[in-house]
Chains A and B, each alone.
Chain A
């Protein structure tokens, strides 16, 4: 079983829809969480960074973390065609020998239709 599970999709939605992207994890040492957006042939772009359970909002994006259930989500409101990309969840431990290293989900391919 992978440490981080993410549904690869693909996910296809109409413009304006609310998108929900999810990851589950098994390693309780993971204490901080990130969501990245990656366009084809580009490096990942950091969208959201959080280290506590609860919600964090930034514009059209909301990151949700539930450490008790080992489950994180990214919500995109009013989705736009420019949001079409691969979305990667990533997480890491607060200490130990793997401190600083990120473990990534497989990535979800999202397409937003005009």
Chain B
């Protein structure tokens, strides 16, 4: 099967610090990865599309300077939440689109708590 990992699974940080979340496709190549945010009892909200070797595309209302995305290889994308504040506390989930198909496989998610 197709496996996507995310690290860390949970992070607690102080306000003002930066947090990096890694997303890896373990057994397939992904030219495109996606970053989502999910609030309790709500569906997934797409934040940005991460393309290998190029700049990420952000959805309307998402601050690109606050949520830095880097897609360094066909198997790795990172999301950095810069100068985190309590309102950034959320469940962040990445997905990877398998090359040549449209199937998207999700990581297990990262729960971020900003104190």
Residues of A within 8 A of B (CB): 32, 34, 36, 41-46, 49, 51, 88, 90, 92, 100-102, 104-107
Contacts and interface: CB of A to CB of B under 8 A. Distances in A.
A101 B49 contact: yes
Contacts of A49: 101-103
Contact of B43 (A41, A43, A92, A106): A106
A35 B83 CA distance: 35
Contact of A46 (B43, B105, B107, B108): B105
B111 interface: yes
Interface in B89-115: 91, 93, 97, 101-109, 111
Interface residues of B, number: 23
B44 A44 contact: yes
15 contacts: A34-B103, A41-B111, A43-B93, A43-B108, A43-B109, A49-B101, A88-B44, A92-B102, A100-B32, A100-B49, A100-B102, A102-B46, A104-B43, A105-B43, A106-B42
Contacts of B34: 100-102
Contacts of B43: 88, 104-107
Given A34-B104, A88-B44, A43 B49 contact: no
A46 B93 CA distance: 14
Contacts of B4: 43
Nearest to A88: B43
